[in-house]
Amino acid sequence: MDPVEHISDFIEQLTAADGNGPEQLLQHLCHIQQRYSFIPGEAVDLLSARLSVPASTIKGVIGFYAFLHDKARGDFDILFSDSITDHMLGSRELVHSLCRRLGVELGVPRADGRVTVDLTSCTGMCDQGPAMLVNGIAVTGLDQARIETIGGLIDSGTRSEQWPGEFFRVSDNIQRRDLMLDSTISEGSALRALLNGDSDKMLDELDRSALRGRGGAGFKTATKWGFCRAAPGQQRYVVCNADEGEPGTFKDRILLNSYADEVFEGMTLCAGVIGASQGYLYLRGEYRYLLEPLHNVLQRRRQAGLLGRNILGRDGFDFDITIHLGAGAYICGEESSLIESLEGKRGIPRKRPPFPVTSGFQNQPTVVNNVETFVAAAQIAAYGADWFRAVGTAQSTGTKLLSISGDCTRPGIYEYPFGVSIAEVLQDCGGGDAQAVQVAGAAGSTLPPGDFDRIIAFEDVATGGSFMVFNQQRDMLDAVQNFAHFFAHESCGFCTPCRVGGTLLKDLVDKVHAGRGTEYDLQQMREIGGLMRLASHCGLGTTAPNPVLDTLDKFPAIYRSRLCDSGYEPAFDLDAALQAARQISGRDRSSAPGETDT
């Protein structure tokens, strides 16, 4: 942690290098946070003056993103992944062990100001957890021995950059390859295919391939690109959504690490089709460790004539890519929230329509696709639509990458043609003892064994790629509780159904989990979940109740086995809530005279 007395010089360097437009606010804040472990008040005032952004707006941005803080976190800011798969691997015991070792309380900086230990949402390391972030960089494969070593390194003041390299090792862990992962393209081949024809022919080829967005919604890629190209506007943008914050999803991590050329080629192909000159890769903050390697790939492509001015010698084919780092906000995976974040704002979802293809970044036509989609588009341009359509189903052509974690002997990345059954995936990954599979992350579907003959496809079980396995020994209500807490924490707070409904669901799940629930509470869960689905502003709120509603229908025993006999119990600990009042009044017992037992 650097001293803050020279922060004005640092901010001057930042704005000189990256610009002083208001859209740079979040990136400047990320740099300041990384250097000082928090955003000093002086920095807020300086940025306000230089970017012409009100200080109140800047403070609102700091409060919105989980990785930004207005109080110092110390030389070591440690965030353990709170994902259910990390819990299943024993992360909670390791968190408490490190807190005891360092003499800290969870979420509270140590008295000497040197270290903070806290929790964060899924870090994208589910296949090699338990995992944590130290000063924003992923540490994998945690166990008790490694925790003891880390405690010693912190107490000795050893900078995290000097910790053993194996602590920071993140493997691709590809367990099954198919069409995409086995068919890397030569640099520039997709762009040459575009230049040898024209944008109309390329759109026709993409249309013939029937490529659909790999984020889960499945909108047809050629249609989206065509809409954007036809929309009126002074400028167009290409945005790659690499903010895969859905718990249990980590496929983009592999593509960005080992297939970055294909990602950037797909973005440049899109730019050539729609007429864009600027692109952005929105990289989730948990993948900060990939930032420098990705910058290196971009620079190499510029030197090879694949980015910049007059790409591959074609006059007027100008396009470049900027990497924009996220700061810990699940909601920014939603495309309009992501665009708000790109503009340096809080990631509040926009009202739609208009859609990004007509009014996106800076209110200009914008294509937003995820990492896997851009790779597939580049490969289709290079190899042709027939090659791509050779696998999959009629409605879901090509392949799908699955991020598999949980109770299986071989977690990792699996690529399958669309149409593969849940049962076949479980057999391949060693999850034969499954009582349930959570497909598409916390917001997806909870499938019991009776559904294992269903297939991964847009026409059946659609998914962005998460596939979590729970064996027969797991208490599924633990998973529901984890998901409910996740959604309550990640709500942007904009709309009442999500903000209040998510908290009410979390409290009700906690109540049932503690053995104090009633039939009335289960009824309330259904009613609140239904209202959230109908009335929430964006997809986070409409899908947040899914794990509760799904398990109420498909796994009713996990609730009913915990219900108490009384007709009503409060959703909080009434005795604990009254304890302070009893102490003040001198009636320090649970059934003081004059009180009614509840």
Give me the sign of the Cα torsion angle 144, 148, 149, 153. positive
Q: Which domains does the chain have, with CATH numbers?
A: 7-64 (no CATH), 76-171 (3.40.30.10), 176-389 (3.40.50.11540), 399-474 (3.10.20.600), 477-560 (1.20.1440.230)
- 119 DSSP β-pair partners: 80
Q: What is the pLDDT of residue 2?
A: 72
Joined tokens for residue 150: 């880390």
Average pLDDT value over all residues in the chain: 94
Question: What confidence tens digit (pLDDT) does each residue in 181-220 have?
Answer: 999 899 999 999 999 999 999 999 999 999 999 988 899 9
User: CA 571, CA 247: separation in Å to the nearest integer?
Assistant: 26
Q: What is the pLDDT of residue 582?
A: 66
User: CA 474, CA 472: separation in Å to the nearest integer?
Assistant: 6
Q: How much is the average pLDDT of 496-514?
A: 97
Q: What is the pLDDT of residue 184?
A: 86
User: CA 260, CA 300: separation in Å to the nearest integer?
Assistant: 11
Q: What is the pLDDT of residue 569?
A: 58
> Which distant-in-sequence residues (6+ apart) come within 8 Å of 6 by Cβ?
none
Percentage of the chain with pLDDT > 90?
92
* Choice among 7-21, 422-436, 508-522, 565-579 with the minimum mean pLDDT: 565-579
Strands 132-134 and 137-139: antiparallel
Question: What confidence tens digit (pLDDT) does each residue in 337-348 have?
Answer: 999 999 999 999
User: In residues, how long is the chain?
Assistant: 598
Question: What confidence tens digit (pLDDT) does each residue in 103-125 have?
Answer: 999 999 999 999 999 999 999 99
User: CA 550, CA 308: separation in Å to the nearest integer?
Assistant: 49
Q: How confident is the model at residue 283 (pLDDT cuts 50, 70, 90)?
A: very high
Residue with the two structure tokens 């040459």: 192
Cα→Cα distances 428→413, 414, 425, Å: 11, 9, 5
Q: What is the pLDDT of residue 597?
A: 40
- 439 DSSP β-pair partners: 445, 467
Q: Which helix (H) or strand (E) holds 300?
A: helix 291-303
Between residues 570 and 420, which one has the greater pLDDT? 420
Joined tokens for residue 205: 């080829």
Question: What confidence tens digit (pLDDT) does each residue in 390-407 have?
Answer: 999 999 999 999 999 999
Strands 115-120 and 412-417: unpaired
Closest CA to 212 of 380, 49, 85: 380
Q: How confident is the model at residue 596 (pLDDT cuts 50, 70, 90)?
A: very low
Question: What confidence tens digit (pLDDT) does each residue in 219-235 have?
Answer: 999 999 999 999 999 99
Q: Flag whether pLDDT at 593 surpasses 50.
A: no
Q: How much is the average pLDDT of 572-595?
A: 59
Closest CA to 119 of 386, 388, 482: 482
Joined tokens for residue 332: 């920014």
Give the chain's radius of gyration (CA, Å): 25
Q: What is the pLDDT of residue 217?
A: 85
Q: Flag whether pLDDT at 461 surpasses 60.
A: yes
> Which distant-in-sequence residues (6+ apart) come within 8 Å of 95 by Cβ?
80, 106, 117, 119
Q: How much is the average pLDDT of 532-550?
A: 96
Question: What confidence tens digit (pLDDT) does each residue in 41-82 have?
Answer: 999 999 999 999 999 999 999 999 999 999 999 999 999 999
> Which distant-in-sequence residues (6+ apart) come within 8 Å of 539 by Cβ?
334, 349, 443
Q: How much is the average pLDDT of 523-537?
A: 97
Q: Flag whether pLDDT at 598 surpasses 50.
A: no
Q: Which helix (H) or strand (E) holds 528?
A: helix 519-535
Q: Flag whether pLDDT at 583 surpasses 70.
A: no
Ordered DSSP codes for 148-203 = HHHHHHHHTT--GGGS-GGGG-----EEE--TTTT-PPPTTHHHHHHHHS-HHHHH
- The overall longest dimension of the chain from CA atoms, in Å, is 89
Q: How confident is the model at residue 499 (pLDDT cuts 50, 70, 90)?
A: very high
Q: Flag whether pLDDT at 595 surpasses 60.
A: no
Question: Which one-letter DSSP state was computed for residue 421?
Answer: B
Q: How confident is the model at residue 6 (pLDDT cuts 50, 70, 90)?
A: confident
Helices 189-196, 199-209: axis angle to 10 degrees equals 120
HSE at residue 318, side-chain half, CA atoms within 13 A, is 6
Percentage of the chain with pLDDT > 70?
94
Question: Which one-letter DSSP state was computed for residue 67?
Answer: T
